[in-house]
Amino acid sequence: FNALFLCVSLIRLKDLEVAKLGDSDVHIKMLAAPINPADINMIQGTYPILSPLPAVGGNEGVGEVLEVGRRVTALKPGDWVIPADTGLGTWRTRGVFPEETLLKVPSDIPVLCAATLSVNPCTAFRMLADFESLAPGDSIIQNAANSGVGQAVIQIARASGIKTVNVVRDRPDLPKLVERLMALGADHVITEEMLRKPEMKDIFKSIPRPRLALNCVGGKSTTEMLRHLQPKGTMVTYGGMAKQPVMVPVSAFIFRDVRLRGFWMTQWRKDHAQDQESLAGMMDALCQLIRRGQLTAPACTEVPLQDYRAALEASMKPFVSSKQILLL
């Protein structure tokens, strides 16, 4: 089978033998797998989880079950599966994995939705659910709103009646991006520069100030976003694209009692490993949204596995609004 093999300074496509099927194993044919920022970080060696080398890249994707070992009861040939955790190595055409490393998903949802289900929509869902009790009419603010998580936040919030203020970096094709995010259900789309302007007050004439801020950037963007948070509001940091620390004025802590929290989907999965109900409930809710057309895959560019170099390069360019998906 073909696998993207990762070495410290080298990524290459290799043909390998498929491992023998054990009693508790599942043989799957991968259908599609995205390239996420965390995948790049793992290759660079800067992610908290690093696979022993040599390793196959990719933490997310969807595959179809071809064959199961004799002790496997929850899966059968034809089922669709996604990784249950980080580090599976999804950039491959085929693989044999222990049953517990896979999660069954419905095969009646679009393949790109299934391939991008386990990281970004789950992250968006948990951050909207776990930090503030949001009710219809409440609002949230987020930066990197055009990211995969950002697009999922807009749609999940919209389906729950929650308003979103979405911050993006200024760019040459800004009007096109604003139009795309508004079509997903964004209430307001603004640039980082706008965060500092008095006109921000106009936005909060029609919607309440946000109780929740979602930060994927860090640096100045975060400090400015924090100014618009309600007293006792929460800011959740789940990424640091600017590679700069989160700076908080002392006054925000003392006089507005804001809370700063962090979120990492991998840790949530570890913490809830014994709590299958929470996981099943979340996956079910997300799949229902997908079936109703209220949650779509992020903007994607589909790339055949052979063109993986071009896909990796494209995913590392600035102002990328399209996720590279390897078709396997």
CA gap 110, 142 in Å, rounded: 27
- Told to judge if 308 belongs to the known catalytic residues of this protein, a careful annotator would answer no
CA gap 38, 183 in Å, rounded: 27
Q: Which of 5, 47, 80, 308 is catalytic?
A: 47
86 touches 35 (CB < 8 A): no
CA gap 161, 170 in Å, rounded: 27
Going through 132-216 in order, the beta strands assigned E by DSSP cover 139-142, 163-168, 188-191, 212-215
- What is the maximum span of the chain, computed from C-alpha positions, in angstroms? 66
CA gap 234, 115 in Å, rounded: 31
DSSP for 242-280 reads: T-B-----HHHHHTT--EEEE--HHHHHHHTTT-HHHHH
| Bridge pairing between strands 139-142 and 323-327 | unpaired
Collapsing DSSP to helix, strand or coil, 114 comes out as: helix
Q: Tell me which residue has tokens 């995948």.
A: 39
Distances 253 to 229, 238, 259 between C-alpha atoms, Å: 12, 20, 8
C-alpha torsion 247→190→285→62, nearest 10 = -90
- Tokens at 142, concatenated: 């987020």
Sign of the dihedral through C-alpha 280, 283, 289, 291? negative
DSSP for 57-69 reads: --S--EEEEEEE-
Q: Tell me which residue has tokens 């109900």.
A: 277
Q: Catalytic amino acids?
A: 47
